[in-house]
Protein backbone atom coordinates (compact mmCIF):
# COMPACT_ATOMS: atom_id res chain seq x y z
CA UNK A 1 0.00 0.00 0.00
CA UNK A 2 1.43 3.36 -1.08
CA UNK A 3 2.13 5.87 1.66
CA UNK A 4 -0.12 8.90 1.77
CA UNK A 5 1.63 11.95 0.34
CA UNK A 6 2.33 14.76 2.76
CA UNK A 7 0.52 18.03 2.03
CA UNK A 8 2.56 21.21 2.54
CA UNK A 9 1.45 24.85 2.39
CA UNK A 10 4.03 27.25 0.97
CA UNK A 11 3.44 30.78 2.27
CA UNK A 12 5.10 33.55 0.31
CA UNK A 13 5.54 36.76 2.29
CA UNK A 14 8.21 38.49 0.22
CA UNK A 15 11.97 38.53 0.08
CA UNK A 16 14.67 37.82 -2.50
CA UNK A 17 13.62 34.19 -2.98
CA UNK A 18 10.29 35.33 -4.41
CA UNK A 19 11.80 37.75 -6.90
CA UNK A 20 13.07 37.28 -10.45
CA UNK A 21 14.91 39.53 -12.86
CA UNK A 22 12.64 40.91 -15.57
CA UNK A 23 14.23 40.15 -18.95
CA UNK A 24 13.70 43.56 -20.56
CA UNK A 25 14.47 45.94 -17.70
CA UNK A 26 16.58 43.74 -15.45
CA UNK A 27 14.53 44.94 -12.48
CA UNK A 28 13.46 42.54 -9.73
CA UNK A 29 9.74 41.69 -9.84
CA UNK A 30 7.63 39.23 -7.80
CA UNK A 31 7.67 35.66 -9.07
CA UNK A 32 4.46 33.92 -10.23
CA UNK A 33 4.32 30.96 -7.84
CA UNK A 34 1.76 29.27 -10.06
CA UNK A 35 4.73 28.67 -12.37
CA UNK A 36 6.99 27.30 -9.63
CA UNK A 37 7.21 23.73 -10.94
CA UNK A 38 8.25 25.09 -14.34
CA UNK A 39 11.02 27.10 -12.72
CA UNK A 40 12.01 24.22 -10.41
CA UNK A 41 10.91 20.93 -12.06
CA UNK A 42 12.72 18.94 -9.35
CA UNK A 43 9.83 19.73 -7.00
CA UNK A 44 7.72 17.14 -8.83
CA UNK A 45 10.10 14.43 -7.62
CA UNK A 46 9.71 15.20 -3.91
CA UNK A 47 6.72 12.93 -3.40
CA UNK A 48 4.63 15.55 -1.65
CA UNK A 49 1.79 17.82 -2.63
CA UNK A 50 1.91 21.55 -2.01
CA UNK A 51 -0.34 24.56 -2.27
CA UNK A 52 0.48 28.27 -2.21
CA UNK A 53 -0.65 31.19 -0.16
CA UNK A 54 0.78 34.57 -1.10
CA UNK A 55 0.41 37.75 0.88
CA UNK A 56 -1.56 40.25 -1.19
CA UNK A 57 1.34 42.66 -1.08
CA UNK A 58 4.82 41.10 -0.67
CA UNK A 59 6.72 42.74 2.15
CA UNK A 60 10.39 43.60 2.27
CA UNK A 61 11.56 41.96 5.46
CA UNK A 62 12.99 45.27 6.69
CA UNK A 63 9.37 46.42 6.95
CA UNK A 64 8.27 43.47 9.09
CA UNK A 65 6.29 44.44 12.18
CA UNK A 66 4.30 42.59 14.89
CA UNK A 67 1.02 42.87 12.98
CA UNK A 68 2.70 40.90 10.18
CA UNK A 69 3.63 38.13 12.65
CA UNK A 70 0.06 37.95 13.86
CA UNK A 71 -1.29 37.81 10.30
CA UNK A 72 1.18 35.04 9.46
CA UNK A 73 0.21 33.05 12.56
CA UNK A 74 -3.47 33.31 11.62
CA UNK A 75 -2.75 31.94 8.13
CA UNK A 76 -1.13 28.92 9.81
CA UNK A 77 -3.96 28.60 12.33
CA UNK A 78 -6.62 28.67 9.61
CA UNK A 79 -4.85 26.05 7.52
CA UNK A 80 -3.44 23.95 10.36
CA UNK A 81 -5.91 21.02 10.07
CA UNK A 82 -5.43 20.73 6.29
CA UNK A 83 -1.65 20.51 6.01
CA UNK A 84 1.19 18.38 7.37
CA UNK A 85 3.67 21.23 7.43
CA UNK A 86 4.29 24.84 6.47
CA UNK A 87 7.11 26.45 4.50
CA UNK A 88 7.41 30.22 4.78
CA UNK A 89 9.35 32.16 2.16
CA UNK A 90 10.72 35.25 3.86
CA UNK A 91 13.40 37.90 3.46
CA UNK A 92 16.58 37.14 5.36
CA UNK A 93 17.08 40.47 7.16
CA UNK A 94 14.42 39.88 9.83
CA UNK A 95 13.86 36.16 9.39
CA UNK A 96 15.24 35.38 12.87
CA UNK A 97 12.83 37.88 14.42
CA UNK A 98 9.86 36.31 12.60
CA UNK A 99 10.88 32.75 13.46
CA UNK A 100 11.32 33.73 17.12
CA UNK A 101 7.98 35.55 17.24
CA UNK A 102 6.15 32.61 15.64
CA UNK A 103 7.72 30.19 18.11
CA UNK A 104 6.01 32.07 20.95
CA UNK A 105 2.69 32.59 19.12
CA UNK A 106 2.24 28.97 17.99
CA UNK A 107 1.58 27.01 21.17
CA UNK A 108 1.62 23.18 21.22
CA UNK A 109 2.93 23.01 17.67
CA UNK A 110 3.01 19.43 16.37
CA UNK A 111 3.95 20.13 12.73
CA UNK A 112 7.03 21.70 11.11
CA UNK A 113 6.94 25.42 10.34
CA UNK A 114 10.10 26.20 8.41
CA UNK A 115 11.25 29.59 7.16
CA UNK A 116 13.65 29.85 4.26
CA UNK A 117 14.82 32.36 1.72
CA UNK A 118 17.81 33.12 -0.42
CA UNK A 119 20.63 35.56 -1.01
CA UNK A 120 20.03 35.56 -4.79
CA UNK A 121 16.75 35.63 -6.79
CA UNK A 122 15.30 32.36 -8.11
CA UNK A 123 16.31 32.91 -11.74
CA UNK A 124 19.85 34.07 -10.99
CA UNK A 125 22.52 31.75 -12.42
CA UNK A 126 24.03 30.89 -9.04
CA UNK A 127 20.87 31.18 -7.00
CA UNK A 128 20.76 29.48 -3.64
CA UNK A 129 16.96 29.78 -3.67
CA UNK A 130 16.24 26.56 -5.55
CA UNK A 131 18.34 24.39 -3.28
CA UNK A 132 16.98 26.03 -0.14
CA UNK A 133 13.36 25.60 -1.23
CA UNK A 134 13.75 22.01 -2.46
CA UNK A 135 15.43 20.85 0.74
CA UNK A 136 13.06 22.77 3.00
CA UNK A 137 10.10 21.06 1.32
CA UNK A 138 11.82 17.69 1.63
CA UNK A 139 12.35 18.23 5.37
CA UNK A 140 8.82 19.55 5.92
CA UNK A 141 7.33 16.50 4.19
CA UNK A 142 9.64 13.90 5.77
CA UNK A 143 8.51 11.29 8.29
CA UNK A 144 10.78 12.81 10.92
CA UNK A 145 8.78 14.70 13.54
CA UNK A 146 9.92 18.33 13.80
CA UNK A 147 7.23 20.05 15.88
CA UNK A 148 8.84 23.47 15.98
CA UNK A 149 9.45 26.72 14.13
CA UNK A 150 12.75 26.44 12.22
CA UNK A 151 15.00 28.23 9.78
CA UNK A 152 16.55 26.27 6.92
CA UNK A 153 19.45 27.87 5.09
CA UNK A 154 22.41 26.55 3.15
CA UNK A 155 22.24 22.89 4.22
CA UNK A 156 21.42 23.55 7.86
CA UNK A 157 18.19 23.42 9.83
CA UNK A 158 18.14 25.59 12.95
CA UNK A 159 15.69 26.11 15.78
CA UNK A 160 14.07 29.39 14.79
CA UNK A 161 14.48 31.17 18.12
CA UNK A 162 18.15 30.18 18.38
CA UNK A 163 19.31 31.37 14.96
CA UNK A 164 20.64 34.74 13.87
CA UNK A 165 21.74 36.25 10.58
CA UNK A 166 25.45 36.95 10.78
CA UNK A 167 26.44 37.82 7.20
CA UNK A 168 24.76 39.73 4.40
CA UNK A 169 26.75 38.22 1.54
CA UNK A 170 27.57 34.54 2.12
CA UNK A 171 25.16 31.73 1.33
CA UNK A 172 25.45 30.43 4.90
CA UNK A 173 23.77 33.57 6.19
CA UNK A 174 22.61 32.10 9.52
CA UNK A 175 24.21 30.38 12.46
CA UNK A 176 23.18 29.08 15.87
CA UNK A 177 26.11 29.08 18.24
CA UNK A 178 24.33 28.32 21.51
CA UNK A 179 22.20 25.42 20.23
CA UNK A 180 23.04 22.53 17.88
CA UNK A 181 21.58 22.39 14.37
CA UNK A 182 18.47 20.21 14.07
CA UNK A 183 19.53 18.70 10.75
CA UNK A 184 22.23 18.94 8.11
CA UNK A 185 21.68 18.26 4.42
CA UNK A 186 24.45 16.62 2.43
CA UNK A 187 24.06 13.63 0.12
CA UNK A 188 21.46 12.61 2.72
CA UNK A 189 19.66 14.63 5.37
CA UNK A 190 21.00 13.80 8.83
CA UNK A 191 18.57 14.63 11.65
CA UNK A 192 19.80 15.40 15.15
CA UNK A 193 16.78 13.85 16.85
CA UNK A 194 18.04 14.30 20.40
CA UNK A 195 17.87 18.12 20.15
CA UNK A 196 14.50 18.34 18.37
CA UNK A 197 11.61 19.20 20.68
CA UNK A 198 9.07 16.49 21.47
CA UNK A 199 5.57 16.76 20.05
CA UNK A 200 3.18 18.14 22.69
CA UNK A 201 0.18 16.25 24.01
CA UNK A 202 -1.99 19.38 24.15
CA UNK A 203 -3.98 20.84 21.27
CA UNK A 204 -2.43 23.46 18.99
CA UNK A 205 -3.54 27.06 19.46
CA UNK A 206 -2.45 30.66 19.05
CA UNK A 207 -1.54 31.71 22.58
CA UNK A 208 -1.78 35.47 22.12
CA UNK A 209 -2.69 37.85 19.34
CA UNK A 210 -0.88 40.92 20.59
CA UNK A 211 2.70 42.15 20.93
CA UNK A 212 3.46 45.16 23.09
CA UNK A 213 6.13 47.25 21.33
CA UNK A 214 6.86 49.54 24.28
CA UNK A 215 10.34 48.03 24.41
CA UNK A 216 13.79 49.54 23.87
CA UNK A 217 17.14 48.03 22.88
CA UNK A 218 20.30 49.66 24.22
CA UNK A 219 23.74 48.52 23.14
CA UNK A 220 26.49 49.35 25.62
CA UNK A 221 29.82 50.62 24.29
CA UNK A 222 32.91 52.16 25.90
CA UNK A 223 32.23 55.83 26.61
CA UNK A 224 28.44 55.60 26.28
CA UNK A 225 26.79 58.71 27.71
CA UNK A 226 24.47 57.82 30.63
CA UNK A 227 22.23 60.72 29.58
CA UNK A 228 21.51 58.93 26.30
CA UNK A 229 20.47 55.82 28.23
CA UNK A 230 18.42 57.93 30.64
CA UNK A 231 16.61 59.66 27.76
CA UNK A 232 15.76 56.27 26.23
CA UNK A 233 14.53 54.84 29.53
CA UNK A 234 12.30 57.89 30.06
CA UNK A 235 10.47 57.30 26.76
CA UNK A 236 6.73 57.71 27.28
CA UNK A 237 4.90 54.39 27.94
CA UNK A 238 8.15 52.39 27.92
CA UNK A 239 7.71 49.12 29.83
CA UNK A 240 10.98 47.28 29.27
CA UNK A 241 14.45 47.55 27.78
CA UNK A 242 17.05 45.05 26.67
CA UNK A 243 20.59 46.02 27.61
CA UNK A 244 23.16 44.46 25.26
CA UNK A 245 26.20 44.11 27.48
CA UNK A 246 29.81 42.95 27.08
CA UNK A 247 30.89 39.31 27.35
CA UNK A 248 29.03 37.34 30.00
CA UNK A 249 26.79 40.26 30.92
CA UNK A 250 29.25 42.93 31.99
CA UNK A 251 28.70 46.69 31.92
CA UNK A 252 30.38 49.84 33.28
CA UNK A 253 30.43 50.06 37.06
CA UNK A 254 30.25 53.87 36.92
CA UNK A 255 27.85 55.09 39.62
CA UNK A 256 26.04 57.48 37.29
CA UNK A 257 25.39 54.68 34.80
CA UNK A 258 24.15 52.29 37.50
CA UNK A 259 21.95 54.97 39.05
CA UNK A 260 20.24 55.60 35.71
CA UNK A 261 19.35 51.90 35.45
CA UNK A 262 18.23 51.68 39.09
CA UNK A 263 15.91 54.68 38.73
CA UNK A 264 14.30 53.03 35.69
CA UNK A 265 13.78 49.78 37.60
CA UNK A 266 12.32 51.71 40.53
CA UNK A 267 9.82 53.27 38.09
CA UNK A 268 8.72 49.77 37.06
CA UNK A 269 10.78 49.36 33.88
CA UNK A 270 11.92 45.77 33.26
CA UNK A 271 15.60 45.57 32.27
CA UNK A 272 16.84 42.41 30.55
CA UNK A 273 20.56 41.67 30.19
CA UNK A 274 21.59 40.09 26.86
CA UNK A 275 25.20 39.60 25.75
CA UNK A 276 26.52 41.28 22.61
CA UNK A 277 28.37 38.01 21.91
CA UNK A 278 26.63 35.44 19.70
CA UNK A 279 28.00 32.59 21.79
CA UNK A 280 27.96 32.03 25.52
CA UNK A 281 25.60 33.18 28.23
CA UNK A 282 24.95 36.07 30.58
CA UNK A 283 26.18 35.14 34.06
CA UNK A 284 25.40 38.08 36.32
CA UNK A 285 27.76 38.06 39.28
CA UNK A 286 30.56 36.13 37.59
CA UNK A 287 32.53 39.39 37.48
CA UNK A 288 32.22 42.49 39.61
CA UNK A 289 31.15 44.44 36.51
CA UNK A 290 27.93 42.40 36.31
CA UNK A 291 27.28 41.91 40.03
CA UNK A 292 25.97 45.47 40.39
CA UNK A 293 23.41 44.82 37.64
CA UNK A 294 22.10 41.80 39.52
CA UNK A 295 21.97 43.75 42.79
CA UNK A 296 19.75 46.51 41.37
CA UNK A 297 17.30 44.03 39.78
CA UNK A 298 18.41 43.63 36.15
CA UNK A 299 17.12 40.28 34.80
CA UNK A 300 19.54 37.83 33.19
CA UNK A 301 18.64 36.79 29.65
CA UNK A 302 20.89 33.73 29.80
CA UNK A 303 21.91 32.55 26.34
CA UNK A 304 18.99 34.00 24.38
CA UNK A 305 19.64 35.74 21.09
CA UNK A 306 18.68 39.39 20.83
CA UNK A 307 15.96 38.43 18.34
CA UNK A 308 14.44 35.92 20.76
CA UNK A 309 14.73 38.36 23.66
CA UNK A 310 12.99 41.20 21.79
CA UNK A 311 10.09 39.07 20.55
CA UNK A 312 9.67 37.18 23.83
CA UNK A 313 9.55 40.42 25.80
CA UNK A 314 6.97 41.97 23.45
CA UNK A 315 4.98 38.72 23.51
CA UNK A 316 4.88 38.49 27.31
CA UNK A 317 4.04 42.19 27.75
CA UNK A 318 1.23 41.75 25.24
CA UNK A 319 -0.45 39.24 27.55
CA UNK A 320 -0.98 41.92 30.22
CA UNK A 321 0.90 39.94 32.86
CA UNK A 322 2.11 41.45 36.09
CA UNK A 323 5.69 42.66 36.13
CA UNK A 324 6.94 39.86 38.41
CA UNK A 325 5.35 37.23 36.19
CA UNK A 326 7.00 38.70 33.09
CA UNK A 327 10.37 38.72 34.84
CA UNK A 328 9.87 35.09 35.90
CA UNK A 329 8.87 33.91 32.42
CA UNK A 330 11.75 35.79 30.77
CA UNK A 331 14.10 33.43 32.59
CA UNK A 332 12.01 30.32 31.86
CA UNK A 333 12.36 28.10 28.80
CA UNK A 334 9.06 28.48 26.92
CA UNK A 335 9.90 27.24 23.40
CA UNK A 336 13.51 26.10 23.60
CA UNK A 337 14.83 29.68 23.34
CA UNK A 338 16.91 29.61 26.52
CA UNK A 339 18.99 27.15 28.49
CA UNK A 340 17.69 27.23 32.05
Is residue 160 within 8 Å of residue 103, measured between CB atoms?
yes
What are the residues facing 244 on neighbouring strands? 219, 274
Task: Give the pLDDT of residue 21.
Answer: 62
Residue 91 lies in a domain: yes
Same domain, 29 and 96: yes
Helix, strand or coil for residue 158? strand
Mean pLDDT of all residues in 254-270: 97
Same domain, 279 and 226: yes
Mean pLDDT of all residues in 146-169: 96
Same domain, 72 and 201: yes
pLDDT above 90 (res 220)? yes
Query: Considering 184, 206, 228, which residue would you say is the last residue of a domain?
Result: 206
* CA separation for the pair 323, 22 (Å, rounded): 52
Residue 162 lies in a domain: yes
Mean pLDDT of all residues in 166-173: 89
Out of 16, 92, 127, 306, pick the active-site residue: 16
Task: Give the pLDDT of residue 32.
Answer: 66
pLDDT tens string 277-291: 999 999 999 988 899
Which range of residues forms the domain containing residue 57?
Answer: 6-206
Query: Considering 154, 187, 206, which residue would you say is the last residue of a domain?
Result: 206
Same domain, 30 and 170: yes
- Indicate which CATH number applies to the domain containing 228: 3.40.50.40
Same domain, 256 and 110: no
Mean pLDDT of all residues in 180-205: 96
Q: How would residue 30 be classed by pLDDT, with cut points 50, 70 and 90?
A: low
- Indicate which CATH number applies to the domain containing 165: 3.40.50.1170
Task: Give the pLDDT of residue 38.
Answer: 73
Q: Which of 327, 326, 319, 267 is nearest to 107 (CA)?
A: 319
Number of domains observed in the structure of the chain = 2
Residue 339 lies in a domain: no
Q: Which of 334, 264, 254 is nearest to 299 (CA)?
A: 264
C-alpha distance from residue 181 to each of 15, 92, 141, 194, 275 (Å): 24, 18, 18, 11, 21
Query: Considering 206, 234, 251, which residue would you say is the last residue of a domain?
Result: 206
Is 232 a catalytic site residue? no
Same domain, 193 and 287: no
* CA separation for the pair 103, 106 (Å, rounded): 6
Mean pLDDT of all residues in 200-214: 91
Task: Give the pLDDT of residue 24.
Answer: 67
Q: Please, what is the average pLDDT of the chain? A: 93
pLDDT above 80 (res 23)? no
* CA separation for the pair 246, 252 (Å, rounded): 9
Same domain, 183 and 227: no
Is residue 206 within 8 Å of residue 107, measured between CB atoms?
yes
Task: Give the pLDDT of residue 15.
Answer: 82
Same domain, 227 and 249: yes
- Residue 21's CB: how many other CB atoms inside 10 A? 14
Same domain, 123 and 227: no
Residues 6+ apart with CB under 8 A from 228: none
pLDDT tens string 224-253: 999 999 999 999 999 999 999 999 999 999
* CA separation for the pair 45, 90 (Å, rounded): 24
Same domain, 27 and 171: yes
Percent of the chain's residues with pLDDT above 70: 94
Mean pLDDT of all residues in 70-99: 97
What are the residues facing 189 on neighbouring strands? 185
pLDDT tens string 301-335: 999 999 999 999 999 999 999 999 999 999 999 99
Report the Cα 308 to chain-centroid distance in Å.
6
Residue 227 lies in a domain: yes
Residue 139 lies in a domain: yes
Same domain, 97 and 30: yes
Of 36-40, 205-209, 243-247, the least confident: 36-40
Same domain, 44 and 174: yes
Angle among Cα 150, 50, 173 to the nearest 5 degrees reads 30
Is residue 222 within 8 Å of residue 216, measured between CB atoms?
no
**Alpha-carbon torsion angle 309, 330, 325, 101, nearest 10:** 40
Amino acid sequence: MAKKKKHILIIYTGGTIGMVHQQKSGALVPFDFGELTKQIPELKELGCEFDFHSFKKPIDSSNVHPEFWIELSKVIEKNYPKYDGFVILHGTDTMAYTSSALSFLLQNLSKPVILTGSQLPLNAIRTDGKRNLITTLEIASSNVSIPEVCIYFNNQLFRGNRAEKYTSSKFDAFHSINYPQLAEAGSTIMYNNRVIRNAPASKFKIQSSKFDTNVALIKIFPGINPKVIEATLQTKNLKAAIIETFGSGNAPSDKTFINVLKKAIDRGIILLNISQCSGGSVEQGKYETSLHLKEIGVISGGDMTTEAAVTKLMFLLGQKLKRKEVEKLLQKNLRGEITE
